[in-house]
Structure 1
């Protein structure tokens, strides 16, 4: 069972890399054009990446048998929590610790990854059979 869980975490991280790429592109565009500051731009990017992550995780990582009406609200609750955490961490890293925004985003991404995997695995994409 440990091997299967590890393989699923690796798949989650790989799918997450796609959503993270979307997030970083949005973040870089918004910051480099001075449209938004790093914290707000990171959150907007995270929301865009969450949509990509939901679709890919539903289909490939968890092969969910839950209806979208069950899985999607759960996933996006987790995404909202992760965006709030992203906001807090980016604020601390960029404003308090004066880290460059890209370095701050990399550290933030690593912190949020483990938390979202754990919650999504245990709740958002949990098999409907286990909910009975």
Structure 2
């Protein structure tokens, strides 16, 4: 019974993560699309879009997904380095895909986002929004 409850709780958490992350991702992609449309270099547009999404994502993940009780100062001290890692990962993967495999910037970003999403979930759950009792 405890295992079933644990799996159900993890599934609910993952669903909230996907919803929150989806909203932040739409903001990221909208920024990417808008900046590419304005003739920005695709790599810069992706990087700026990732930062826009990260700001929205913090509040969505803090309040909705993880319902964190950590002080914002403490959560931010963990979130900012995590976002930097995610941002660099996003740029590196996007660059590799866009340069060598997928010349369409939107398609390259979709694939990049899928990879970064998995890394983010693990980092947010284990590092950023964890409760004090979590290990």
- What's the secondary structure of 1:128's corresponding residue? coil
Query: Deviations 1:63-96 (Å, cap 9, x if unpaired)?
Result: 1010000001211211111110111111111112
Distance in 1, Cα, partners of 2:29 & 2:119: 19
Counterpart selection for 2:23 from 11, 18, 21 = 18
Query: Deviations 1:34-84 (Å, cap 9, x if unpaired)?
Result: 1x2111111110101011010011001101010000001211211111110
Structure 1's consecutive aligned runs of 4 or more residues displaced over 4 angstroms after TM superposition are none
* Residue 98 of structure 1, CA deviation: 4.1
Counterpart for residue 2 of structure 1? 7
Counterpart for residue 38 of structure 2? 33
Alignment of 1:59-98 (within 5 A): 59-98=63-102
- Structure 1, unmatched stretches of 5+, are none
* Residue 129 of structure 1, CA deviation: 4.0
Distance in 2, Cα, partners of 1:81 & 1:100: 24
Distance in 1, Cα, partners of 2:21 & 2:134: 25
Counterpart for residue 42 of structure 1? 46
- Structure 2, unmatched stretches of 5+, are 1-5
Q: How many residues align structurally? A: 130
Counterpart selection for 2:103 from 95, 99, 103 = 99
Cα RMSD (Å): 1.2
